[in-house]
Amino acid sequence: MSFEISEYPPRTFSDKYQKYLAPHGVLLPPHQVLKNKKLGDRAEEALRKAFKITVKKLKKMKSACANCDKTDGVDLECEGCRGVRYCSVECKEARLPTHSLICHHIKNEAVDQVVECLPSPVPLGREVLRGKGGYVGDWEAWFTRHTTLGDSIASVAPLVSQWWGYTGLPNPGEEALKASLQRIVSNVFSTVLTIGHCPSWFPDYQQTSTDREFHIHLLGADEPEVGAVTSGIIQVSSRVLGRPLVVTLVAPDLTKHPVTFSWAPTSPYQVTPSVKAVAYPGLYHDFWREHIATSDPKAKVQRPDIALAIHPGVHTSDMLTLWRPTLQLLALEQVPLTMTTYNEAEFEETLEKLAPLGLKVVHKGLNPLRSLHAKQTPYEPDHIWAANSYAIAIDNTRSSRAGT
């Protein structure tokens, strides 16, 4: 589950103009794009218009009053972010205490939405990696010590600034554009860095040997986890762990991703020399019975060192009902579990929902490797969400398990 909207104007723009703006996979400067005859004689005018239409569509998405949802006469704007509107002073004041906490995020989001229109501004291939890998504690370390991304971002900011001129919006300046590119790039790497980082939340992790393969189960895996494998960026997780990695994706929804059908538990897909991927399109219980608890040596695979559920959504009772058997299985089998949530509200509600299960929470709080690309939630204007915002680590090896 996510708050992603199906019709997102910057994505529509980027998809449509990718073949002109980034024909070889990297964003070109405007003067080179405008030489392309296929864009027609009035290319510059057409591009300016396309940007303006996109900006207008984005504005329309936030045209209702952020307090009462009224759509007529919504003329008052927050001066801080210019991204939230109200129908009256009363409505604006009613929201002030909660809006002021996220106003700067909404201001950033407005910059990010324009930058997101631009296809491939920062190259993200294998060549961005720097050094030998190892523990990544936060984004600062990632951008400066483990990759060349910080340098690439600094060098493309002037180019993004040139394109900004086509939007008709006031230019926020190169520093703001750099910060925006960094947020957008963080979104790409948040999950793979969290996979590599999450074992460090468990007290016993340091004692495990580093020469053998590390086995991690990604529960409820979907598009982003599949994409991390197919793009190869999953190798980042192995670099962070400093050891070979086997990622096992388990979820009924994997049936939607035919590319995973050949990643069988007994013949994993070798993604890179240090990473193997496995996919099981079904329930975790069935996977466990068929491949872990089995006595058939042909079907049996290694037990997981850790399980990770990216945004399982167990803050809602419906999702908790679906997840409860898996949580109980992991507790019974003493498999450490980490889960992430999209925002603080979900994090608090998740902790509340988990409390009666008697699980041993050994780490909880903001994830230092959360996506910095925060967006306003569509249903609650004063909440923001971002991938892997908060993390909860449950040490089932030392739990006072429910029923025991």
Query: Applying CB under 5 A, which residues contact Zn ion?
Result: 65, 67-68, 70, 78, 80-81, 87, 91, 103
Q: How far is CA 238 from CA 129, 186, 269, 288, in A?
A: 13, 18, 15, 24
Beta strand pairing call for 361-366 and 337-341:
unpaired
How much is the CA Rg of the chain, to the nearest whole Å? Answer: 23
Query: Which run of H or E residues covers position 366?
Result: strand 361-366
Contact (CB, 8 A) for 341 and 308 = no
Handedness of CA 30, 120, 131, 391 (dihedral sign): positive
Minimum Å gap between C-beta 106 and Zn ion is: 5
β-sheet bridge partners, residue 340: 391
Nearest to 175 by CA among 108, 117, 124: 108
User: Which one, 116 or 382, has the nearer CB to Zn ion?
Assistant: 382
User: Which one, 31 or 379, has the nearer CB to Zn ion?
Assistant: 379
User: Which one, 68 or 129, has the nearer CB to Zn ion?
Assistant: 68
User: Which one, 96 or 355, has the nearer CB to Zn ion?
Assistant: 96
User: Which one, 67 or 152, has the nearer CB to Zn ion?
Assistant: 67
3-class SS of residue 55: helix
Minimum Å gap between C-beta 98 and Zn ion is: 11
3-class SS of residue 256: helix
Minimum Å gap between C-beta 78 and Zn ion is: 3
Minimum Å gap between C-beta 164 and Zn ion is: 21
Minimum Å gap between C-beta 39 and Zn ion is: 37
Minimum Å gap between C-beta 110 and Zn ion is: 10
Beta strand pairing call for 275-280 and 85-86:
unpaired
User: Which one, 67 or 191, has the nearer CB to Zn ion?
Assistant: 67
User: Which one, 65 or 254, has the nearer CB to Zn ion?
Assistant: 65
CB contact set of 103 (below 8 Å; sequence gap of 6+)? 78, 80, 81, 84
User: Which one, 110 or 226, has the nearer CB to Zn ion?
Assistant: 110
User: Which one, 79 or 296, has the nearer CB to Zn ion?
Assistant: 79
Minimum Å gap between C-beta 93 and Zn ion is: 11
β-sheet bridge partners, residue 308: 218, 338
Contact (CB, 8 A) for 374 and 359 = no
Minimum Å gap between C-beta 264 and Zn ion is: 51
Minimum Å gap between C-beta 212 and Zn ion is: 51
Minimum Å gap between C-beta 308 and Zn ion is: 34
Phi, psi of 230 (to 5 degrees): -65, -35
Distance CA 239, CA 189 (A): 13
Contact (CB, 8 A) for 245 and 275 = yes
Handedness of CA 334, 340, 341, 345 (dihedral sign): positive
DSSP state of 272: E
Distance CA 386, CA 246 (A): 26
For residue 315, give both structure tokens: 């803050």
User: Which one, 107 or 217, has the nearer CB to Zn ion?
Assistant: 107
User: Which one, 40 or 379, has the nearer CB to Zn ion?
Assistant: 379
Nearest to 263 by CA among 273, 275, 277: 277
Contact (CB, 8 A) for 94 and 67 = yes
Give the rounded distance of the alpha carbon of 19 from its chain centre: 25
Minimum Å gap between C-beta 374 and Zn ion is: 13
